[in-house]
Amino acid sequence: MRKSKVLAKIRSGEVARLCAMGSFLPYFPRLANAAGFDGIWVDGEHKPFTARETQALIAFHHLADIDCLWRPPTREKNGLYRILEDGATGLIISHVGSAAEAQAIVDAAKFPPLGDRGLDGAGFDAEFGKNGGASYPADANRETALFVQVETPQALAQVEAIAAVAGVDGIFLGPGDLSLRLGCKPDATDPVMADVHRQLAVACSRHAKVWGRPVANQTDLDLVLAAGAGFVVFGGEFRMIQNALADCGKALDRALEKRAATG
């Protein structure tokens, strides 16, 4: 089966480079690969994707040879491993608040003896039966990335126990939700958030795991990397389009004002 670029980077001690998308854009995986990204965080939690759109978008990731890390709107066990059978490289699960919740995610995403995932062997991840033999469960366990999101103070208090769960590859900080609950800014420059980074770094280091988060600018990127993040999400299609349209609108304003002034 296809090997995960994100996990390969993490296992070699390098920083995995992710970007984000929440829209059905078939060209985006190819452009992200050309820009040097290892994977894409696809947000199916807040953005709607039909089952066929999910299958198609994951297939476009395979064509581009870039990891697809899907954040689903459900924790339903069969629903989670169906996404993996459709070819997703891994899962990002939101609002995981305890080791027990993390273990339930591992049970859904990993085969025995690590988890309790149901076996099919005829999906995209098993090359439609071509790699559905004896090695398939072990291959899938090795190459399926699993990140759980810490997004509440209660989860932060349990982060070491969450990081200790076998089968969890890393802790994904949700700075928006956590900052909302801590009463701070999501920026890495905020002292409260900087302390969160330190807590994550310590917990993950003790259990040979990695942590990471989305960043919005160069300053945050530099600070998060300095704090020891093993992966970062930098760049997403929504902000890119929003910013580009704003720039175009400003350029049109200037051009039209100039024409009006010259009569």
First to last CA, the chain: 65
Active site (annotated) includes residue 46: yes
- Spacing of C-alpha 94 from chain mean position: 10
The string of DSSP codes covering 63-106 is: HHT-EEEEE-S---HHHHHHHHHTT-SEEEES---SHHHHHHHH
* CA-closest candidate to residue 46, choices 177, 232, 188: 177
Phi, psi (deg, nearest 5) at residue 230: -95, -10
Query: Could you tell me if 125 and 89 are in contact, meaning their C-beta atoms sit under 8 angstroms apart?
Result: no
- Helix %, strand %, coil % of the chain (to 5): 50, 15, 35
**Would you name the residues annotated as active-site residues?**
46
